[in-house]
Amino acid sequence: MDEFSFIDSITQKYYRQSSLIKGIGDDAAVVRPVNGFDMITASDTMVEGIHFRLTTMNPYHIGYRILGANLSDLAAMGCDPAYYMVSIVIPKNWSQKQLEEVYSGMHDHARQYQMDLIGGDTVSGNELVITVTVYGYVPKNRSRYRSYAYEGDYIFVTGHLGDSAYGLHLLLEQKKAENRDYFIRRHQMPNPRVHFAQELQSLKRLCLNDVSDGIASEANEIAQASRISLELNYSAFPIRPEIKQYSLEDQKKWVLSGGEDFELLGTVAKEDWVKVQAAADKTNTKVTNIGVVKESRNNPQVLLIQSNGQKEKLKRSGYVHL
């Protein structure tokens, strides 16, 4: 199949979003945003050998996960997903079927949020590299910045931490384990918290960051951006019992800096905590209060309170590319 029939094959028969004027097929796509909304855009890349190996993910998972990583950034801005664009470098030894599976993973994930594929680029090369750019809308001035944490806020996190990194560990070590399939699925098919964040759009102020590199990293990003300190209670962290069976050192490696949880880390005024709990109930999302925000303008940092009450400075220990 040549490049042009490939593009034909991935073009949607119809589009779901009413703000789309022109999708795939011209020099660029055209969107007419609705008044009263801000447009949000984010981009993430997956590279063979860095984000996956053919032993850790099949082509369907690659598609599902790359859209998931991008959706997670949209969720962290509190936004409604609308569009995505895909730029792909395809290795010469990849079959048409493998390529179709990558797109099928993206399509299936996109359909859950009524997103449309509106463009991209196709190039051949030596290893698979896929970049997805997403677009969405948020009611004017309701974006959820990392700089929105205030002294006295409750800190919360969705879902469980460490599942994906533990799943990757089981895949790489080819280990048998209790509920192995669950952890592997959490690695291969993440569940970004889009609906939960949408449900909170009525809140005037909310600070959100998605956990892609590891909570140690994202918590520090919030502390720096908001110029406050986060005090986190390790004993309150939502960690699966299968992970808790391991030594504290192993646990922390997965839970604090394993990355790819694609959960949301947030802070909210104490009086709005009940609204966060209600949004969690409504969208079937687990949410856990894991600490409080402290004043610290001159020395923003993250402190981890151990089960014995001792406080330790939590450094930015998540995944770093360069």
Ligand X SMILES: Cc1ncc(C[n+]2csc(CCOP(=O)(O)OP(=O)(O)O)c2C)c(N)n1
Ligand Y SMILES: Nc1ncnc2c1ncn2[C@@H]1O[C@H](COP(=O)(O)OP(=O)(O)O)[C@@H](O)[C@H]1O
Binding residues for ligand Y (CB under 6 A): 44, 73, 212
Name the one residue in this structure whose structure tokens are 């600070």: 207
Question: Is 121 within any annotated ligand binding site?
Answer: yes
- Binding ligand X (rule: CB under 6 A), the pick from 29, 31, 40, 51 is 51
Q: How far apart are CA 73 and CA 291, in angstroms?
A: 23
Segment contacting Mg ion by CB under 5 A, of 12-20, 70-78, 94-102, 225-233: 70-78
**The only residue of 10, 23, 29, 44 in contact with ligand X, by rule CB under 6 A:** 44
Q: How far apart are CA 115 and CA 48, in angstroms?
A: 25
Question: Both tokens of residue 278?
Answer: 């209600």
Residue 319 makes contact with ligand X by CB under 6 A: yes
Contacts 24+ apart (CB under 8 A), 92-100: 92/124, 92/126, 94/128, 96/1, 98/59, 99/6, 99/59, 100/9
Is 2 within any annotated ligand binding site?
no
- State which of residues 56, 58, 289, 317 lies at the interface with ligand X (CB under 6 A): 56
Q: What is the DSSP letter of 26?
A: B
For every residue of 90-144, DSSP letters joined together read EETT--HHHHHHHHHHHHHHHHTTT-EEEEEEEEEESS-EEEEEEEEEEETT---
Task: Give the separation between CA 29 and CA 313, rounded to whole angstroms.
Answer: 47
108 assigned ligand-binding residue: no
In the complex, least distance from residue 196 CB atom to Mg ion, rounded to whole angstroms: 15
Closer to ligand Y by Cβ: residue 73 or 116: 73
Site for ligand X in 169-208 (CB under 6 A): none
The correct pick among 100, 116, 210, 213 for binding Mg ion (CB under 5 A) is 210
Cα separation of 137 and 113, whole Å?
A: 12
The nearest distance, CB 137 to Mg ion, in angstroms, is 18
Per CB under 6 A, 163 contacts ligand X: no
Q: Is 168 in the site for ligand X (CB under 6 A)?
A: yes
Q: Tokens for 245?
A: 């069976």
Q: Is 136 annotated as a binding residue?
A: no
Q: State the alpha helices, DSSP H only, in 200-291.
A: 215-226, 241-244, 248-257, 273-282
Cβ nearer to ligand Y, comparing 23 with 68: 68
In 3D, which of 149, 129, 118, 100 has the Cα closest to residue 41? Answer: 118
Q: Is 146 annotated as a binding-site member? A: yes
> Which of 29, 40, 44, 100 contacts Mg ion by CB under 5 A?
44
How far apart are the C-alpha atoms of 92 and 55, rounded to whole Å?
Answer: 19
226 binds, among ligand X, Mg ion, ligand Y, none (CB under 5 to 8 A by kind): none
Helix (H, G, I), strand (E, B) or coil at 150: coil
Closest contact distance (angstroms) between CB of 170 and ligand X is 12
Query: Contacts with ligand X in 248-307 (CB under 6 A)?
Result: 259-260
Nearest distance in Å: CB 45, ligand X: 6
CA dist., res. 232 & res. 250, Å (int): 19
As measured in angstroms, the least distance from the Cβ of 7 to ligand Y is 26
Q: Say whether 43 counts as a known binding-site residue.
A: yes
By CB under 6 A, what part of segment 205-234 binds ligand X?
A: 212-213
Q: Is 261 near Mg ion (CB under 5 A)?
A: no
Binding site for Mg ion (CB under 5 A): 44, 73, 210, 212
Site residues, ligand X (CB under 6 A): 44, 50-53, 56, 69, 168, 212-213, 259-260, 319, 321
Binding residues for ATP: 103, 120-121, 146, 212
